[in-house]
Structure 1
Amino acid sequence: MRSLNLHLKVLITLLVSLGVLITAYQIFILGIPVTEDETDDLWNIDAKVEFQASPSVPVKMQMFVPPLNQDYVSLNESFISNNYGVSVNRAEGNRKVTWSARRASGKQTLYYRLVLTKRYSGEKPKEKGPIFRDSLPVEGAEKIAAEALLAPIRQHSADVETFVSETIKRVNNEKDDNVKLLLGGDSSVGNKAKIADLLLSIAHVPLQRVHTVRLASEQQTPELWLRTFNGENWLYFNPETGEQGLPNDRVIWWTGDEPLVNLDGGKKAQVTFSLNNSEMNAIHLAKLSDANTSAGFLEYSLYGLPLQTQQTYQIMIMIPIGVLVILILRNLGGLQTLGTFTPVLIALAFRETQLGFGIALFTLITALGLSLRSYLEHLKLQMLPRLSVVLTFVVVLIAVISLFSHKLGLERGLSVALFPMVILTMTIERLSITWEERGGNHAFKVAVGTIIAASLAHALMSIPELTYFVFTFPAVLLILVGFMLAMGRYRGYRLTELFRFKAFLKD
């Protein structure tokens, strides 16, 4: 007996733990929304390209566009132009779009549009970079100034991260005479990045320029950042402060020293960035996301089924919830019903008829069926013929009720056909047997208990938030099974028995 109790406890613990772990993995690792109304941010980025085309000359406009291996998922990418050919090529870790036309004249406007989201981005494979580089050529006074700056940088740094950060801070100290010499009067961010690159090349530390766009609802120009590879990860640095770490709201547009656009056959090229933020239902967003992202969980969940099948399973998967309600009402409350599954099946029928109308129809059909069953009892028929007659009567009664409901304009009455006819027939049969064996009073209690249990089960099974949660996280059913197993060993008093034996408590 002790080994049996241990076996049951281990089984319950295993089921509950497994259900909790799978659900937690879906919520915290895969990022599946807990509620159906949960939304997520969508970012729409428009890059407007304008230029003057030279007459009678072929036009070729090239522009860098973001790589697709970032922490954001691209939901849509559009290249909008009039009479231009479009092609996208990859080069040195970047992507570049080329608009081309045989002839164009006057002012030209091209658009690049990108829709991004953060959710379901998943873990991307780590991109590796160089850990060594050759020194850039430098001579004369510039070389002396560079060496003078590198000496304290080496002294105050311990690794690649601190070395790069210290270098950037030194270059931004314009009061230093060595820095003034190297800047040559140009204190722009781009020139400071160039000097930092020179100093780091002497120390053989690789450095890349990274051009980013900030996710903010405003017009802007790409922002320059610097990065280096430490052998394991890319380290990003602010070129003005030396602060390490790329903010979460930055999207890398391209890397390298080349300009954003390159125009042949035109002049005065200008790019304007416009961004705006919107929200979308998180589950719908997952369906739009690329199948290669972690949103691929949809393929291996109930959302991967055809839509019509999903609607069926949304009803089926709530049956264990209804069974749990009946289990609690019977084992803890002491409510008497016609078995466990009959109230649940009646509750399913209430989904179509609605609760009030369903109770009225169930009561009417059952009452008339019991009357017929009582009459057939006087004919001394065997059980199978008797059930056949009751079933046929139920079908005819349902058809008559549907017909009169339609004539009276009560379209809700048409849904009575969804009541399981066999269930109604067996309910009538079991109630009549209970009446004969235990009396009409007990049969009435059982019938009322069945209606109460079915109504409570229907109320719980019809909660949209609960339906969504169980359908999205079906592993919670393992937790329910664990609870049901634990209830299977309950031998204590039921609520109704406490009232029945109240007199003994007084004594």
Structure 2
Amino acid sequence: MRSLNLHLKILIATLVLLGISITAYQIFVLGIPMTEAETEDLWNIDARVSFEAAPKTPVKVQMFVPPLTQDYTSLNESFVSNNYGVSINRSDGNRKVTWSSRRASGKQTLYYRLVLTKRFSGEKPKEKGPIFRDTPPLEGPEKIAAEALIAPIRQHSADIETFVSETIKRANNQADDNVKLLMAGDTSLEKRAYIVETLLGIAHVPLERVHTLRLLANQQQTPELWLRSYNGKDWLYFNPETGERGLPNDRVIWWLGDEPLLSVDGGKKAQVSFSINSSEMNAIRLAKISDANTDATFLEYSLYGLPLSTQQTFQIMIMIPFGVLVILVLRNLIGIQTLGTFTPVLIALAFRETGLQWGIGLFTVITALGLSLRSYLEHLKLQMLPRLSVVLTFVVVMIAIISLLSHKLGFESGLSVALFPMVILTMSIERLSITWEERGAAHAMKAALGTLVAATLAHILMRVPELVYFVFTFPAVLLILVAFMLAMGRYRGYRLTELFRFKAFLKD
């Protein structure tokens, strides 16, 4: 007996742990929303390319577009142009779109649109980078100034991260004479980034330029320059003005390297303008779209991968264990008597179509009339099978009459009575009649009332939208429910109603 108790406890603990672990994995690792009302931000980025095309000259426009190997997931990418061919090429970690036309003249406008989301981006493969760089050619005063700046940087750094950060700080110190010499009067950010590259090149530390776009809604944006270096394991990103490490979460990498964003052959006065807007989308719908457009794994761990019609069926089926839980608590803990164990759950399912008030009324009327017929048939001394057949036929006739009258009176809800499980009604009438004969009218009425109460509570619980969504999205919670049912299977204590029944014994 002791080993059996231990086995049961281990089984319960295993089911609880497994249910919690799977659910936590879906919520915290896969990022699946816990509520149906949860929303997620979408970012719409429009890049407008404008230029003047030379008459009777082939036009070729090239522009960098964001790579697909970053934290943001691309949901939609479109190219809007008139009479232009479009192609995308990949090289050195970049993606470049090419618009081409045989003939174009006058002012030309091309559009690139991208829709991004942060959520459900999945695990991106890590890119590797160079860990060594050749020394750039320097001569004369520039070489002396660069070496003078490198010496204190070496003393104040311990690794790649601190070395790059210290170099950026030194290169931005315009009060230093060596920095002034290397700037040669040009204090622009591009020049300071060039000095940082030069100094790091002397130390054989690789550096790469990163051009980013800040996700800020309803504002015009221009690409921002950042720097990054590979330490052998990860890419380290740095602010080129402060040396601060870490790329902010609201930055999207647009392209890498020293090349300009846009190049136009066969045109002039080319420019690019960016506009960014944000919107919200239901998180669960966004998850489905992400699965369709990316290699996300959301649908692999949920029932949303089923066909839509099958999903609707499972949304009903998966709530049945919670209806059974209500019956379990009412019978084993409270002590309410019902007509059978699962009959209230089946009646609760019928309430989904009729509505709660109509369902209770229809159940009461049909059961009362059927009980009267069953009492009459008892006087005829019929066998059980013929008697049940007559009651079933009577139930069908009653359902048809009530549906017809409801339609004539304009109560369309009454038509739903046809969806009541006829066999369940028939068996309920039979069991109620037997209970009446064996244990009296009072006990039969208690059982009928208990059945209605249990069916009502089960219906209310099974119809809670938040619970339906949570269980359908995280079906592993049913394992926790099973564990609770197993624990209830060993309960041998008093029911709540029995405490009132045996109140006199407790006083003695």
What's the TM-score, normalizing by structure 1?
Answer: 0.99
Describe how 1:48-67 pairs up with structure 2 within 5 A. Answer: 48-67=48-67
CA apart distance, 1:303? 0.4
- Distance (Å, rounded) in 2 between the aligned partners of 1:71 and 1:340: 52
Partner of 1:71, secondary structure, is coil
Partner of 2:275, secondary structure, is strand
- Distance (Å, rounded) in 1 between the aligned partners of 2:296 and 2:414: 43
Deviations 1:218-257 (A, max 9, x none): 1110000000000000000000001111111110000000
Mark the CA change 1:290 to 1:182 in structure 2 (over 3 Å): closer, same or farther: farther
Describe how 1:290-369 pairs up with structure 2 within 5 A. Answer: 290-291=291-292, 293=294, 295-369=296-370
Kept in 2, the 8 Å contact 1:120–1:294? The answer is no
Deviations 1:304-358 (A, max 9, x none): 1111110111000000000001100111100000122100000010011111110
Mark the CA change 1:286 to 1:465 in structure 2 (over 3 Å): closer, same or farther: same
Report the RMSD for the aligned CA atoms in angstroms: 0.9
Aligned to 2:6: 6
Deviations 1:7-27 (A, max 9, x none): 110000000110011111111
Aligned to 1:398: 399
Aligned to 2:246: 245
Q: What letter matches 2:206 in structure 1?
A: P
CA apart distance, 1:157? 0.7
Aligned to 1:267: 268
Aligned to 1:503: 504
- Distance (Å, rounded) in 2 between the aligned partners of 1:207 and 1:489: 67
Partner of 2:377, secondary structure, is helix
Aligned to 1:123: 123
- Distance (Å, rounded) in 1 between the aligned partners of 2:51 and 2:25: 50
Q: What letter matches 2:133 in structure 1?
A: R
Deviations 1:340-394 (A, max 9, x none): 2100000010011111110000001111111111111111111111111111111
Q: What letter matches 2:44 in structure 1?
A: N
Kept in 2, the 8 Å contact 1:57–1:104? The answer is yes
Kept in 2, the 8 Å contact 1:48–1:110? The answer is yes
Describe how 1:489-500 pairs up with structure 2 within 5 A. Answer: 489-500=490-501
- Distance (Å, rounded) in 2 between the aligned partners of 1:12 and 1:295: 33
Kept in 2, the 8 Å contact 1:211–1:224? The answer is yes
- Distance (Å, rounded) in 2 between the aligned partners of 1:417 and 1:319: 21
Kept in 2, the 8 Å contact 1:75–1:116? The answer is yes
Aligned to 2:167: 167
Kept in 2, the 8 Å contact 1:197–1:207? The answer is yes
- Distance (Å, rounded) in 2 between the aligned partners of 1:415 and 1:326: 25
**4+ long deviations beyond 3 Å:** 290-295
Aligned to 1:35: 35
Kept in 1, the 8 Å contact 2:211–2:256? The answer is yes
CA apart distance, 1:296? 2.6
Partner of 2:43, secondary structure, is strand
Q: What letter matches 2:424 in structure 1?
A: I
Q: What letter matches 1:65 in structure 2?
A: V
- Distance (Å, rounded) in 2 between the aligned partners of 1:378 and 1:290: 66
1:209 correspondence with 2:205: no
Q: What letter matches 1:103 in structure 2?
A: R
Mark the CA change 1:282 to 1:295 in structure 2 (over 3 Å): closer, same or farther: farther
Kept in 2, the 8 Å contact 1:73–1:290? The answer is no
Kept in 2, the 8 Å contact 1:338–1:427? The answer is yes
The percent of aligned pairs where both chains have the same amino acid is: 81
Aligned to 2:152: 152
Deviations 1:116-171 (A, max 9, x none): 00000121010000000111111111000010000001111111111111111000
CA apart distance, 1:293? 4.5
Kept in 1, the 8 Å contact 2:136–2:202? The answer is yes
- Distance (Å, rounded) in 2 between the aligned partners of 1:299 and 1:361: 43
1:222 correspondence with 2:220: no
